[in-house]
Amino acid sequence: MNTRLHSAGSRKQSGFSMLEVLITVLILSFGLLGMASMVTTGMKSNTTSHYRSVATQQTQDIADRMRANLTGVRSGSYDALATNIPVSSDCVAAGCDAAQMAVYDHAQWNTANSRLLPGGLGTVAGNLAGGFLITVMWTEKEMGGAFDPGCPVGTPAATRCFLTRFSP
C-alpha cells in the first residue's frame, strides 16, 4: 500500500510564480520613476537657485558701485539705468568724472548681467531722496512660458525678476 498521499493542498511550492515576479517588477518600476522625477526636480531647483544667487550678487554689485560714486548718485546719474549697454570710456585706464563713472558702471554691470545670466538685463530706477529699485531679469526656461508676477509690466513671458530696494 502506498503511504504517500498526494493532494493539491500538500504540495510544496519552490521558486516564484510569474505573477509575483511581474508585481515586483511593476513596484520597482514605479519606485525608479519616482526617483528619476525627484532627480529632475532637484536639478531644476538647483538651476533656479544658481540664477537667483547670481542675481543677488549682481544687485549688490551695482549697489556697491553706486556707494562708491556718491557724487554721481547725488547728481542723478544713476536715476534711470535702462537695460541697454551704453558705450563708455574705460575709467580704469583713464580718469573719469562722476557722470562718466556712472555710465561706465552701467555698461560694466549690464555686460556682466548678460554674461552671467541667460538673457540677463538690469535696470535701476529712483532717486536719492526716495531710494532706488534695482531689477535684475533673466530668461528661465523652467517657468514654462509663464509670467513672473514680480516683474514690471511689459516684461516678456518666461522672464524671472529679482527686485531690491536700495538707499545709499
* Residue from 78, 53, 58 nearest 68 by CA: 78
What residues have CB less than 8 Å from 78, skipping those under 6 apart?
A: 66, 69, 72, 102, 105, 106, 124, 132
Q: Where do the domains of the chain lie? A: 47-166
Residue 114 burial (CB < 10 Å; 0-12/13-18/19+)? Answer: middle
Provide the 3-class DSSP secondary structure of residue 103. helix
- List the pLDDT tens digit at each of the 168 positions of the chain: 555 555 555 566 666 788 888 888 889 888 888 888 887 776 776 788 899 999 999 999 999 999 999 999 999 999 999 999 999 889 988 889 999 999 999 999 999 999 999 999 999 999 999 999 999 999 988 777 888 888 888 888 889 999 999 998
Q: How confident is the model at residue 13, as a pLDDT? A: 63
Q: How confident is the model at residue 140, as a pLDDT? A: 87
